């Protein structure tokens, strides 16, 4: 967003990007709990430890990206079939393009791509920067996000999720940044989200960033702090973010959140463009 793999995918989907819980504009500062870790003011290396500049042509670099493939709804009643075809994910002119299309495949009426760095880019802490231009149109549900690589604390949401950027086409230019944990997620009404309207998010590139340290996960748009989620020091139900995570880039079509106001078939094909993905290692203290 799974029998262990298929069932896990479905369970992930129950979370996955269905961010319809508590919202607030701006970073929503949280008073650091006394029992949580100290904020050591961690910084990050200035040279990426992992990156894709998309300065080539063809399919996404197989050394860095894999695919989630299928059309079972992904736990959110989504309408697309995710493929690994160049028609849905291709690199050229310095950008990665993920393209959602109106076409029939394997019982679904739309196709798209969900790229994952799992097994090729797995990270514990760091700065994550993705410069992107979002798709337009009612029914689109693009996301730039992270899931646990090892699911050490159990299925979703126990092992956590980090949403660097989410957007639904029926609510244009309103960007959501959030996390999900067992204690804080939308299905029990405790979800912690921040939002910001970026007037040209669908027509221009913007920088979506998360700084993840042992103390907090902080979300930024164009280097302006929008969101922060602080480690309360109460164990994995609140803070499962001490294990490896990987990146995901995708456009969903419809679904429990993205499809709340239907799907406009006149918008297809519609694209999310990624200028670069850069990951910087946290400097430990």
Query: Which pLDDT tens digit goes with each residue over 231-245?
Result: 999 999 999 999 999
Enzyme catalytic residues = 161, 166
pLDDT at 285: 87
Distances (CA, A) of 91 to 58, 128, 240: 5, 20, 34
Place 253 in a pLDDT band, splitting at 50, 70 and 90. Answer: very high
pTM as predicted: 0.90
The domain spans of the chain are 4-283
- HSE toward the beta carbon, residue 75, CA cutoff 13 A: 18
Q: What is the secondary structure of 181-245 as a DSSP string?
A: -SSS-GGGT--EEEEEE-TTTTTS-EEEEEEE-SSEEEEEETTEEEEEEE--SS-TTT--TTS-E
Q: State yes or no: pLDDT of 21 exceeds 50.
A: no
Are 66 and 76 in contact by the 8 Å Cβ rule? The answer is: no
Asked if the model's pLDDT at residue 28 lies above 60, the reply is no
Asked if residues 243 and 149 have their Cβ atoms less than 8 Å apart, the reply is yes
- 3 pLDDT exceeds 60? no
Sequence-distant (≥ 6) Cβ neighbours of residue 107 within 8 angstroms:
71, 81
CATH number attached to the domain at 4-283: 2.60.120.200
């Amino acid at each position: 967003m799974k029998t262990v793999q298929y069932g896990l995918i479905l369970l992930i989907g129950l979370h996955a990007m269905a961010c319809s819980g508590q919202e607030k504009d701006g970073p929503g500062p949280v008073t650091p709990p006394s029992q949580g870790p100290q904020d050591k003011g961690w910084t990050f290396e200035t040279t990426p430890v992992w990156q894709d500049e998309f300065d080539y042509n063809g399919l996404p670099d197989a050394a860095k990206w894999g695919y989630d493939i299928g059309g079972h709804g992904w736990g959110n009643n989504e309408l697309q079939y995710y493929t690994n075809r160049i028609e849905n994910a291709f690199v050229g002119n310095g950008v990665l393009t993920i393209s959602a299309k109106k076409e029939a495949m394997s019982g679904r009426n739309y196709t798209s791509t969900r790229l994952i760095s799992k097994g090729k880019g797995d990270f514990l802490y760091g700065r994550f920067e993705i410069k992107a231009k979002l798709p337009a149109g009612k029914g689109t549900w693009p996301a730039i996000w992270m899931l646990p690589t090892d699911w050490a604390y159990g299925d979703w949401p126990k092992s956590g999720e980090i949403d660097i950027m989410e957007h639904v086409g029926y609510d244009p230019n309103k960007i959501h940044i959030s996390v999900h944990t067992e204690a804080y997620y939308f299905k029990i009404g405790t979800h912690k989200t921040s939002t910001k309207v970026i007037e040209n998010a669908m027509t221009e590139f913007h920088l979506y960033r998360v700084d993840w340290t042992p103390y907090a996960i902080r979300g930024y748009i164009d280097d302006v702090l929008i969101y922060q989620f602080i480690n309360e020091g109460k164990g994995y139900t609140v803070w499962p973010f001490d294990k490896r995570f990987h990146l995901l880039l995708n456009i969903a079509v419809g679904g429990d959140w993205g499809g709340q106001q239907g799907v406009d078939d006149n918008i297809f094909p519609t694209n999310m463009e990624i200028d670069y993905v850069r990951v910087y290692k946290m400097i430990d203290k």
